[in-house]
Chains A and B, each alone.
Chain A
């Protein structure tokens, strides 16, 4: 029978594969054996710390069991856990990713004193009244009327953008950069892209220039790079 914990070399370093059908207790025993063997084999005059990637296949390890694994590694001076990966995720995690990745349609009035937080991108069709705040972790595409504060890339993602007509807004913010529109003389219309440039300053461009402004985003939405 194959050991429940097997060492494998990869181009990034060492990976320990834990059999997803084996009993957890058996895996722990096997892991101990494996590390004991490794310690004797790698014993040298100036040993270096080795960080292992641990791959658990189709089994999702609980937080308790994960810390158990780390405890085992803590017994060995020169071994540590780099990361634990698997092919499966929890529903909670998948929902989070789904939320993060999808474009949410927000069609409501955000009134004075109200704050709306959204994870992911937002297509905004509603109204932000003066004193209201729309705080989005991703990009914002504005078709509605913004007269309050609008932020993309909340709290500190500077690769996000605000696209659309926000000329009535009190403030635009991306990540940690902000601008009070009253103080600037920008021409903003429905083809304006607001983004953070290489100097970490808010900048204004046109949708036509999106390819230059943010090539990564342009690829993601399916634009043809070399077309």
Chain B
């Protein structure tokens, strides 16, 4: 029997979809069977990030309204034989096209066949959010070190307290710029975690490759040396119950002695 997680943030653009794709892929790399559910109806893009957009036949609204069977609508990611599936969102419908009961029904139908069901929640706290949390056993809240994202995360934690899930929520701090955190111009990891009072699941260091790889439909976790990919792989292992130490932030603002000399030569 699988477990369902909703990946949510309140604020848009903090990396919910990227996190969903990468955590899902990382879990599949660990040999787990994963189904990703895109609930961002009308603005689907989890399929794009995974490079599966050309394989969609049916979507979640088709399944909910009985136009298609669940098995027909699931899109398989061929890179992980039989481990990673996606149930895409509908494009030509809005968020009221689904209700909470339908989401619960779909998740319950998926649970026996999968180890993890990851629900990609739309931004906002309206119907789409309520649908997404209805089907979830636990929540992963994504935030960035920006105040506005932390505020919205705080709001979402509050809403989750009003509609408690089986398990208390987890936190991912995304898009960490190490030098800004080091020099104190943004809240640091401890501050954010302490402020929100939510258990920290992992941190993701900001990296240009996250965007460039997702443009190719290839999640960053597939890159063995990338720090952001490492962050997502750590998160997957923590979800599996391993205790993985938190990644250390490096201080980029202070280049080493030899680098300084190197730069000096470059300038000349």
Residue numbers of A with Cβ under 8 A of B are 109, 111-114, 129-132
Is B3's beta carbon under 8 Å from chain A? no
CB-based nearest A residue for B161: A111
Is B157's beta carbon under 8 Å from chain A? yes
Q: Which 10 A-B pairs have the closest CB atoms?
A: A111-B158, A112-B154, A112-B155, A113-B155, A114-B158, A111-B154, A112-B151, A129-B154, A113-B158, A109-B197
CB-based nearest A residue for B153: A112
Q: A32 CA to B18 CA in the complex, in Å?
A: 82
A-B contact pairs, 24 of them (CB 8 A): A109-B197, A111-B154, A111-B155, A111-B157, A111-B158, A111-B161, A112-B151, A112-B152, A112-B154, A112-B155, A112-B158, A113-B154, A113-B155, A113-B158, A113-B159, A114-B158, A129-B154, A129-B195, A130-B151, A130-B154, A131-B151, A131-B154, A131-B155, A132-B158
Within the complex, what minimum Cβ distance (angstroms) separates A89 from chain B? 34
Within 8 A of A (CB), among B40-67: none
Chain B residues near A114 (CB-CB < 8 A): 158
Q: A131 CA to B152 CA in the complex, in Å?
A: 10
Interface string of B152-178 (1 = CB under 8 A from A): 101101110100000000000000000
CB-based nearest B residue for A108: B161
Q: A129 CA to B159 CA in the complex, in Å?
A: 14
Within the complex, what minimum Cβ distance (angstroms) separates A169 from chain B? 16
Chain B residues near A132 (CB-CB < 8 A): 158
Q: A114 CA to B151 CA in the complex, in Å?
A: 12
Q: A109 CA to B159 CA in the complex, in Å?
A: 12
Within the complex, what minimum Cβ distance (angstroms) separates B141 from chain A? 12
CB-based nearest A residue for B10: A112
Within the complex, what minimum Cβ distance (angstroms) separates A98 from chain B? 27
Residue numbers of B with Cβ under 8 A of A are 151-152, 154-155, 157-159, 161, 195, 197
Known: A112-B151, A114-B158, A132-B158. 17 other contacts (CB 8 A): A109-B197, A111-B154, A111-B155, A111-B157, A111-B158, A112-B152, A112-B155, A112-B158, A113-B154, A113-B155, A113-B158, A129-B154, A129-B195, A130-B154, A131-B151, A131-B154, A131-B155
Within the complex, what minimum Cβ distance (angstroms) separates B196 from chain A? 9
CB-based nearest B residue for A147: B195
Chain A residues near B151 (CB-CB < 8 A): 112, 130-131
Q: A111 CA to B155 CA in the complex, in Å?
A: 6
Within the complex, what minimum Cβ distance (angstroms) separates B78 from chain A? 42
Within the complex, what minimum Cβ distance (angstroms) separates B186 from chain A? 16
Within the complex, what minimum Cβ distance (angstroms) separates A168 from chain B? 12
Q: A111 CA to B196 CA in the complex, in Å?
A: 9
CB-based nearest B residue for A131: B151
Within the complex, what minimum Cβ distance (angstroms) separates A149 from chain B? 14
Chain B residues near A129 (CB-CB < 8 A): 154, 195
CB-based nearest B residue for A113: B155
Chain A residues near B159 (CB-CB < 8 A): 113
CB-based nearest B residue for A130: B151
Within the complex, what minimum Cβ distance (angstroms) separates A126 from chain B? 10
Within the complex, what minimum Cβ distance (angstroms) separates A127 from chain B? 8
Within the complex, what minimum Cβ distance (angstroms) separates A123 from chain B? 20
Within the complex, what minimum Cβ distance (angstroms) separates A148 from chain B? 10
Q: A178 CA to B158 CA in the complex, in Å?
A: 25
Q: A33 CA to B80 CA in the complex, in Å?
A: 96
CB-based nearest A residue for B157: A111
Chain B residues near A111 (CB-CB < 8 A): 154-155, 157-158, 161
CB-based nearest B residue for A129: B154
Chain B residues near A130 (CB-CB < 8 A): 151, 154
CB-based nearest A residue for B159: A113
Q: A109 CA to B160 CA in the complex, in Å?
A: 13
Q: A103 CA to B106 CA in the complex, in Å?
A: 48
Q: A109 CA to B154 CA in the complex, in Å?
A: 10
Chain B residues near A109 (CB-CB < 8 A): 197
Q: A131 CA to B148 CA in the complex, in Å?
A: 11
Chain A residues near B157 (CB-CB < 8 A): 111
Q: A114 CA to B152 CA in the complex, in Å?
A: 12
CB-based nearest B residue for A111: B158
Q: A214 CA to B155 CA in the complex, in Å?
A: 37
CB-based nearest A residue for B152: A112
Within the complex, what minimum Cβ distance (angstroms) separates A134 from chain B? 13
Q: A132 CA to B161 CA in the complex, in Å?
A: 14
Within the complex, what minimum Cβ distance (angstroms) separates B160 from chain A? 10
Q: A129 CA to B154 CA in the complex, in Å?
A: 8
Q: A193 CA to B195 CA in the complex, in Å?
A: 27
